[in-house]
Structure 1
Amino acid sequence: MVMALESNKRKEYVPLLQPIFSVEEQTVVAYESLGRVRDANGTLGNVPEFSDPHVTPLRMSVIDRELLGLSLQKIKNSNDQLFVNMSPDQVILEYEESKGNLLPIAEIVKHYGVPIERIVVEITEKSGSFGTDVLAAGVELLREQGFGIALDDVGSESSNLERLGAIKPDIIKIDLNILKKSIEKREYQSILEYLKQISLSIGSQLLFEGIESEGELYQAVSSGASLLQGYFLGRPVEFSEEKQNICDVVVPHLQIYHENKRKEVAKEIEFEKMIKTKLMSLPLKTIKLDNRVIIDPQSFFKLDPLIQRVYVTDWQGTQVSPYYERTNNSGFAENMAFLQKNWSYMPFFYKHVKQVFRDSENWQVSDPYWDKSLKKKVIVFSRVNELGYSFFVDLVLDETK
């Protein structure tokens, strides 16, 4: 027993700090504190309590508070932010152990003379003993005292939109696994796009962590990242204020990304102009017959081989023509199944309506989306004819060019 205690005493908690790079400011602006232990031989290893499900929130908080103090000592003379992890149960414990209006974590930060606004509390995605409403109330206390709030590991198996909506974090951290899968599978790119839209709607920044390659860096920036973290930028170290080496690696890659993106946008604009010119050559004739509208679909399919579908809706979004789908280079099929279906719930429909109000004389174009049935990216061209019917033309994007 004595030997075990002596061995325990020889353990030293050590915070490693991993740099966080700002795409906006083009430099390192923060560090995440990652707890380690150093044994008697000077070897660093993971803190065993962090992976032990039987460790109580109180014991975890004791360790985290010690690591916080050590981290604050390292960064107090800089202007950088410090990210620290806290489980949902630890958030509630902060409230329960508060003295007056001051939370324990705030006392520690004040003791080291660091402005609370420089500390970002990462709420981990561990399940907690309390409901989302209780967690949200605890997070709000942290926010009221000046702490920034991040939600960690969004995209992991345990993540849920309820917690994201209740907390409304200042920063959403995207899980490494989702990032890697997004490069390999189209479905994950859609998930990243969805998270990007959520971040915009609640006013959060996106931080992509676990970036280990140039490709992952480009994917993160393309997916809306304003903050970047990972081995490609810098590994966790005991602390170094040398930021220039990181900037020398990251900034040139960002310049390459933006250069390639501008070329991509120019290419997209040229493609859209070409399709619009072709579409403008067609008269948008419609004939009303009973409960449906008749058009000339063949004229559309002859225009360009990338055109896959054509249909017409009324002003409310109800489909009034058959659904015409390409079957081969020159043929198409008439599908009556969608007649009288309402498409106003689709994202592109009211964007189409808005664009028509702006410019009814020209064809409009939607943002690309992933079509499950075609298993390809699709964009929608739309225009209203003189009788008020909306023509929608779906084109697949040729991504090989």
Structure 2
Amino acid sequence: MQSVDALDILMNLKNTRPYYQPIISADSHNIYGYEVLGRIKTEQGVKSLGSFFHDSHVPNEYKREVDEHLVKIALEEFLSHNQDAALFLNINPNIIMEDTGERFVRMLSSYQDQGLRLDQIVIEITEHEYRGDISRLAHLIRYLQTLGIKIALDDVAKGSSNLDRIGILEPDLFKIDIHSLNYNEKTISHHGVLYSLSHLARKIGADLIFQGIETVHQLHDSLRQHGRYFQGYFLAGPERSFLPVDHFKDRFREAVHQFILHERTKIQRRYNLANELNNRIHLALKETKKQTNLDNWMVAIAHQISDCCFRIYICDQDGFQQTSNGVLQKDKWVLHSEYKGKNWSWRPYFMENIFRMNDEQKGILSDIYSDIETGELIRTFSYPLNTRLYLFMDLPHSFLYEHDIIAW
């Protein structure tokens, strides 16, 4: 869509209006709030002001004038409709830091006598667009939060977002574009970034908002990543009016029900596979005589499970590898002795899984991950041989695909 000239916008402020895009809550299935988006009416139709606000060549004073005009209209309409929802306002961090937020807070405070509660306001800031000292921005955020205003970091999985900087800012909400979830074998790092963001959000007490949702599958992906709030054209586009709080309740509930059914099926498949592997290892141990030479014992076990495993090894409870790596190559198990003695206790969940295996006396199927050596998506099944030794077998992508448990 062709952008509108900055001067044309300033000279036609009367034609600019705020539009409101609903944000839906996962826990209530109601409208949690609205994002305010600028639009201008032209002879060619209604156009977005997004390019105007993101154009680095447009002076900040122009942007501030248009933004304040839109925010004031939005606040007046918000209050006149007695909204109990949240109102999301996009704020350029470089502009608000010019006076450390004084002008913005003064404007909001002027509406408190008309019934505005500051805890209804959510400020959206794009962290990686900020060019100043991050500690000064963090100080302003703390001040705004003491007033009850919530802070949402926008596009945290895009641009040059830095987890350390995000951690310093400690926002109330992370806003993630759903298109960051479109990963495959070549873009698997996206999943790792999203997992890290989800983990960081949980640690600092922030919630996740997923935006740009255009299909039910994207909504399901967002739920799978532990999103709490959702926004996008699948639910509703920006409109000039507000909606009843439960407008999307039935539709959203049905979409969540479909997601739950799908996830239950996936979880059941994983449990079934874990039980199958437990039974197979248990049977293999019965049919295989334990040997003093652990490599020989491991290979004897490996021959019983060659159809589902491409790498196998044994570690002790402290993570030290007691055997070579057994690798299936052209239908033969080949030993790689250079791995013997290596320590794997630093791997995620290693010590926790050792404790679980001892406590539950059964094997554990890992999450899916990208194998360092092959680059394939694999899972690892670990099994307690006794109270000292633990068998680890890596399941290839082809086996996981066959059992339909390749998804995250």
Match of 1:135 in 2: 137
Deviation at 1:320, TM superposition (A): 2.4
| One-letter identity of the residue aligned with 2:63 | M
Match of 1:350 in 2: 351
Deviation at 1:389, TM superposition (A): 2.3
Match of 1:337 in 2: 338
After superposition, the Cα gap between the structure-2 partners of 1:286 and 1:171, relative to the gap in structure 1 and judged at 3 Å, is farther
1: distance between equivalents of 2:273 and 2:297?
25
2: distance between equivalents of 1:370 and 1:63?
47
Deviation at 1:242, TM superposition (A): 3.8
Query: Structure 2 unaligned runs (5+)?
Result: 1-6
Match of 1:90 in 2: 95
2: distance between equivalents of 1:373 and 1:174?
31
Contact 1:319–1:341 under 8 Å retained in 2? yes
State which drifts further: 159-168 or 115-124: 159-168
1:287 aligned counterpart, secondary structure: coil
Contact 2:278–2:363 under 8 Å retained in 1? yes
| One-letter identity of the residue aligned with 2:86 | Q
Deviation at 1:176, TM superposition (A): 3.9
Match of 1:381 in 2: 381
Match of 2:86 in 1: 81
1:303 aligned counterpart, secondary structure: coil
Deviations 1:7-50 (A, max 9, x none): 814643211110101111112111101112234x5932233631
Q: For 1:173, which of 157, 172, 175 is the aligned residue?
A: 175
Contact 2:216–2:234 under 8 Å retained in 1? yes
1:380 aligned counterpart, secondary structure: strand
Contact 2:363–2:382 under 8 Å retained in 1? yes
After superposition, the Cα gap between the structure-2 partners of 1:337 and 1:110, relative to the gap in structure 1 and judged at 3 Å, is farther
Deviation at 1:232, TM superposition (A): 0.6
> What's the % identity of the aligned pairs?
24
Q: What TM-score comes out, normalization by structure 1 length? A: 0.87
Contact 1:314–1:320 under 8 Å retained in 2? yes
Match of 1:280 in 2: 282
Match of 1:269 in 2: 271
Deviations 1:242-282 (A, max 9, x none): 45553343322221111111122112111111111111224
Deviation at 1:67, TM superposition (A): 1.7
Deviation at 1:165, TM superposition (A): 0.9
Contact 2:185–2:376 under 8 Å retained in 1? no
After superposition, the Cα gap between the structure-2 partners of 1:94 and 1:65, relative to the gap in structure 1 and judged at 3 Å, is farther
Establish whether residue 72 from structure 1 lines up as the match of residue 69 from structure 2.
no
Contact 2:284–2:304 under 8 Å retained in 1? no
After superposition, the Cα gap between the structure-2 partners of 1:58 and 1:354, relative to the gap in structure 1 and judged at 3 Å, is farther
| One-letter identity of the residue aligned with 1:38 | K
2: distance between equivalents of 1:191 and 1:171?
16
| One-letter identity of the residue aligned with 2:145 | R
Deviations 1:365-400 (A, max 9, x none): 333323254444333222344461232222235224
Deviation at 1:162, TM superposition (A): 2.3
1: distance between equivalents of 2:400 and 2:8?
66
Q: For 1:30, which of 29, 33, 42 is the aligned residue?
A: 33
2:349 aligned counterpart, secondary structure: helix
Deviations 1:119-178 (A, max 9, x none): 111111443231211111111111111111111001112222122111122111112431
After superposition, the Cα gap between the structure-2 partners of 1:371 and 1:114, relative to the gap in structure 1 and judged at 3 Å, is same
Q: CA RMSD in A?
A: 2.8
State which drifts further: 308-317 or 258-267: 308-317
Residue-pair matches, total: 389
Equivalent residues in 2 for 1:140-289 (5 A)?
140-181=142-183, 185-242=187-244, 244-283=246-285, 285=290, 287=292
Contact 1:280–1:363 under 8 Å retained in 2? no
1:390 aligned counterpart, secondary structure: strand
After superposition, the Cα gap between the structure-2 partners of 1:261 and 1:68, relative to the gap in structure 1 and judged at 3 Å, is same
Match of 1:306 in 2: 308
2:212 aligned counterpart, secondary structure: coil
Contact 2:88–2:124 under 8 Å retained in 1? yes
Q: What TM-score comes out, normalization by structure 2 length? A: 0.85
Deviation at 1:219, TM superposition (A): 1.2
Match of 2:320 in 1: 318
Contact 1:183–1:216 under 8 Å retained in 2? no
Equivalent residues in 2 for 1:13-28 (5 A)?
13-28=16-31
Contact 1:94–1:105 under 8 Å retained in 2? no
After superposition, the Cα gap between the structure-2 partners of 1:331 and 1:114, relative to the gap in structure 1 and judged at 3 Å, is same
2:345 aligned counterpart, secondary structure: coil
1: distance between equivalents of 2:355 and 2:169?
33
| One-letter identity of the residue aligned with 1:79 | D
